[in-house]
Amino acid sequence: MQTKEKRIELIDMIKQLSNYFNNVRDALCAPYGLSSIQAVIVLDIYHNPTQTKVTDICKRLHKSTNTISPLINRLVAKGFLQKIQYQKDGRVILIQLTKKTEEIIQNINVDIYDFTWPMFETLTDEEFNKIYDCLKLLLKVTTQ
């Protein structure tokens, strides 16, 4: 039975997990000179290479252009991103990863797997499947 207390506890657990994964991302990205939010932007572009206008990125990250644009400009200045004028419409600027950043992303992805993979080894198959099923359900209800 769902109670108010259980809902509050569930929300608190989600917050704790979010903080945990943010801290992991911070630790993995810091050696490359990326803040957590900068890493989120870079990874978003990596996973959506055909939709890289600033407005596209803002929509996916649920952030305003006033928040994302300065971060992108800093990433361009640091050599992580480049701005390319769209050939079909010169008013449109596309944001792309640099070769340097593509290599860093590969390293970060490997680091994430290396860091998180051992967590699952402590679980029984039944525990793993419960977590898997619950997270799939949570993703389903949060994306409706």
pLDDT in tens for each of the 144 residues of the chain? Answer: 789 999 999 999 999 998 988 888 888 889 999 988 898 999 999 999 888 999 999 999 999 999 999 999 999 999 999 999 887 877 889 999 999 998 898 888 778 888 888 889 999 999 999 999 999 999 899 887
* Token digits of residue 133: 């099923």
Alpha-carbon distance of 67 to 75, in angstroms, equals 13
The amino acid at residue 45 is: I
**Backbone φ, ψ for residue 21 (5° rounding):** -70, -30
**Topology of domain 4-142, CATH:** Arc Repressor Mutant, subunit A (1.10.10)
> Who's near 52: CB < 8 A, 6+ residues apart?
45, 94, 95, 96
Domain map (residue ranges) of the chain: 4-142
